[in-house]
Amino acid sequence: MRAKYFMAVNRNGVYTSVIMLLAVLLYFSYLGKTPIYILDEAKNAQCAREMFDRSDWVVPTFNQELRTDKPPFHYYCMMTAFKLFGVNEFSARFFSAIFGLLTLLITYYFVRKHLGQKKAFMAVLVLLSSLHFTFEMRLAVPDPYLIFLLSACLFSIFTFIQTEKNKFLWFTYIAMGLGILCKGPLAVLLPGLIVFVYLIVTKDLSFKRILSFKPLLGLFVVLIISLPWYLAVDKATNGAWVKGFLLNHNVHRFTDVKEGHGGFFGLTTLYILIGFLPFSVFIVQIIKKSISNWANPFIKFSVVTVLTFWLFFTVSDTQLPNYPMPAYPFMALLIGNYLFDVISGIAKGSFQIPLMVYLIITLVLPMGIYLALKNEPPLARFTYLAIPFLVLPISACITRLLWSRNQIMGIAVMSGAFILTSFIFFSFIYPKVYSQNPVVKSLGLIQTGRPVVAFKKYNPGYNFYLNHPIKRFTDVDSLRRFIELHPNCVLITREGTLADLKSIKNIQIVFSGKDLFEKPVTVLLTTTASYETNNHSN
């Protein structure tokens, strides 16, 4: 008995070590190498920086204007990292990677508790193989924090239902409270809806069951954690932050298309299928396996969780790839549950169709990346960066050769190929590509001390690297008056607005660069006299 115990402990230590090693490799390697350029990263990182510079833990601002997009939890984490490591790209993303690692560990812990050690490791391997999941854990955005908190909340509440141990109830409500500080009411709404549906499905919905959750205690814990900041920001902004957040970034995101992020009805499904490559090629088999294991409470709860997230964001008018991601650990355990049956020889039937789909996808992917680079003018000379993605079709061929004789090795090759590709992509290819963005390429043209202004839309990455407010104009007359008073200013705008600026004399373009993989062209202008003086001095 004792020998078996120590063998189990040793295996658990090996699995945990492998998980942590791969997570560090994927989430932390060259984390600060890619510039802050993506709109969400730029706004979140700069908002945290402005709060950090003011030592302000209450009012979020971007460009010294109130930012109502998100509550402050991720800002607090970034501010802490700025204090530890200085203000830079690595610091802005550091705690995203930390929460990515924590998500893997809690997934492993709870799946091991309910389904066993090997299935737990398979579930985590699925997450590590996901390019989408790895990408999200390397961004300076609130989603890695929310994914962890909602996963912790849902894993804990299910475990409480199964065990009646109060410590898991405490974990649930603490995660909910922090979730409200991370993303708002969604952190209570979705877990509450999932538990409600699960209790209906299991015919366990009753007044007695509801009371077992100690809802008054839960409300107290959630409010103690989240309410003080909401009251403070409401008072500091005269209600403007709470109104803007609840209406514009909660109700309107669900009922209207925000910031152009709409799409067709099946877009959320497509996001999930792409996000879980390579193993989503087995989606039909995974669904069948989950149905056959419906009697297992943990499988049932996971199916309810995935379907709730999928349906909720399918009917939402605003659709983004990151929206259904809090359900990813539960989708991963369903996939891991199926893969365990494959390597155990339990899963029978033909694998020819999914393996053929896998081969086709991996053949198309390098070609698609090659064409994307070739047709993007700033990146046309980097088409050779598609070569490392040939690892994927090569791995698909090896998988097909191995599958009939050794399915464990087949799955290992599939997973290993995507993990290796993720490492190469995020450590070398992605930083090289995004260093060609117009913000980085034009920063050298903006001299210290010169006023920098913007007309209508511009890339917020400028704020992070210049670290001072950029006065933004929306009408030409006000801009003209400003330029007359500050003839040495630099104007940032987009090519589409140049027709509006024809009435302003003596300004000329000093830089023009297309935004990567997007239509807008960033343009820098300055007065002719200022430009000639600068060239003469150089």
pLDDT for residue 89: 97
Q: How confident is the model at residue 530 (pLDDT cuts 50, 70, 90)?
A: low
Q: How confident is the model at residue 395 (pLDDT cuts 50, 70, 90)?
A: very high
Q: Which residues contact 113 (CB under 8 A, 6 or more apart)?
A: 159
Mean of pLDDT values over 183-199: 95
Q: What is the pLDDT of residues 60-78, one digit of tens each?
A: 999 999 999 999 999 999 9
Other beta carbons within 10 Å of 203: 7
Task: Name the residue among 107, 203, 205, 265 with its Cα closest to residue 192.
Answer: 205
pLDDT for residue 538: 41
Rg of the chain taking only CA atoms, in angstroms: 25
H-helix or E-strand containing 528? helix 528-537
Across-strand partners of 380? none
Location of structure tokens 């409010």? 223
What is the chain's mean pLDDT, rounded?
Answer: 91
How far apart are the C-alpha atoms of 453 and 333, rounded to whole Å? Answer: 50
Q: What is the pLDDT of residues 128-178, one digit of tens each?
A: 999 999 999 999 999 999 999 999 999 999 999 999 999 999 999 999 999
Mean of pLDDT values over 363-391: 95
Q: Which amino acid is at 14?
A: V
Say how many CA atoms lie within 13 Å of 272 toward its Cβ. 23
H-helix or E-strand containing 6? helix 2-28
Going 458 to 368 to 262 to 250, the CA torsion angle's sign is negative
Q: How confident is the model at residue 88 (pLDDT cuts 50, 70, 90)?
A: very high
Residue 529, pLDDT above cutoff 80: no
Task: Name the residue among 436, 415, 460 with its Cα closest to residue 64.
Answer: 460
How far apart are the C-alpha atoms of 354 and 56, rounded to whole Å? Answer: 53
Q: Which amino acid is at 311?
A: L
Mean of pLDDT values over 293-308: 97
Q: Which two tokens stand for residue 527?
A: 């007065």
Say how many CA atoms lie within 13 Å of 37 toward its Cβ. 24
Supply the pTM of this predicted model: 0.93
Across-strand partners of 524? 492, 511
Other beta carbons within 10 Å of 214: 16
Mean of pLDDT values over 439-460: 91
